Amino acid sequence: MRYEEFLEQVKVRIKKKIGKEVRICIYPVIKNNSIVLDGLSILQDGENISPAIYLNAFYREYTSGESLEHIIDKILCCYESGRKLHKIDTSFYTDFEKVRGKLVCRLINFEKNEKLLKEIPYHRFLNLAVVYYYLMDESEIGSATILVHNDHLKTWGVSADELKEIAVENTPKLLPWDFLSMSEMIHAMLVSEKKERKKDAGDCLRENMLEGLEELQPQLPLYILSNKEKNYGAVCMIYDRILESIADKLQDDYYILPSSVHECMIIPVCMDNDEEGLLEMVREINETQVEPEEILADSIYRYYRWQRLLRVVR
């Protein structure tokens, strides 16, 4: 079955399962790095908001042998888990005083998002761009966000500079930074494994692997920089005071390797790392470990401790 036929079958079968009083829409969504995905929304009477369910990955499951009926059940499960049983009042978003306290920053790639950046306020940061989002209250809609567009600024009567100042101040307050050594992160994963998962052969193998990596940490002085939510935490690298704190802790210059939009790896310069090798590491991670829409950059950065300066080095 071709992709277009798959989309049509999804609509038909979901409507048949839910009933006639439902609106089903499939629409293109431009994600980070200009990745276009097909989103599905399901709206029943009295609802004005629905979780966006992206169908591209479900089609890959279908072409890999998953039955269409099983895929439909999984889509409906996603819908039910994210569905709101009441209307959401979106009029608050026209009042800047009601949104200013929840505006935050994110980092994205500049070149890969040139089309998107024509429609939204941003400021350059090295070879990246800082953009702005509104954090929805979890009590209302979960952890959803709203990307700020140029039209929003016109409605609010706010300049891009004012938006930047507010969001830059809000971000570390609402999403505090987190800096862990690899051993600390692996230890936390081990504790979580032991508490939350039942032991089977696969779990034991994973736990043994994590314990082996934990023992290797003295040979691998690698650190992870993100925020407490582990969501778009790479934005921490725009904050001078965070970079300075890391330099003071390490007592050295260091490289920043953007492993995704959500986190960065930190490696002290004292390890005499080959910059070309570090760049290859980032590229390999982006090619094999990160979803295309979550890639930040095929670059490495160096923080110079005494100059208090961050630069692109490759």
Distance CA 97, CA 207 (A): 48
Distance of CA 167 to the CA centre of its chain: 17
Please give the Cα distance from 135 to 299 (Å, whole number).
28
Contact 76, 14 (CB under 8 A): yes
Residues across the chain? 314
Model pLDDT for residues 285-310, shown as the tens digit of each residue? 999 999 999 999 999 999 999 999 99
Q: What is the pLDDT of residues 170-194, one digit of tens each?
A: 999 999 999 998 777 766 666 655 5
Q: Which of 142, 138, 145 is nearest to 261 (CA)?
A: 145
Asked if residue 125 lies in contact with residue 113, where contact means CB atoms within 8 angstroms, the answer is no
Place of tokens 């986190």: 263
Q: For residues 70 and 259, give the distance between their C-alpha atoms in angstroms, rounded to a whole number.
A: 33
d(CA 304, CA 47): 53
Digits of tens for pLDDT over the chain (314 positions)?
899 999 999 999 998 888 767 888 999 988 999 999 999 988 877 666 777 899 999 999 999 999 999 999 999 998 887 766 555 667 888 999 999 999 999 999 999 999 999 999 999 999 999 999 999 875 554 457 899 999 999 999 999 999 999 999 999 999 999 999 877 776 666 665 555 554 554 455 445 544 544 454 445 678 999 999 989 999 999 999 999 999 999 999 999 999 999 999 999 998 767 899 999 999 999 999 999 999 999 999 999 999 999 999 98
User: Alpha-carbon torsion 57, 62, 66, 69, what sign?
Assistant: positive
**Strand extents, DSSP E, the chain:** 22-30, 36-44, 53-54, 103-109, 122-125, 128-135, 145-147, 177-181, 223-227, 254-258, 264-268, 301-304, 309-312
d(CA 274, CA 23): 56
Q: Is pTM beyond 0.75 here?
A: yes
Q: What gap in Å lies between CA 224 and CA 208, rounded to an integer?
A: 21
For residue 192, give both structure tokens.
């979580």
Exposed/middle/buried for 64, CB within 10 Å: 0-12, 13-18, 19+?
exposed
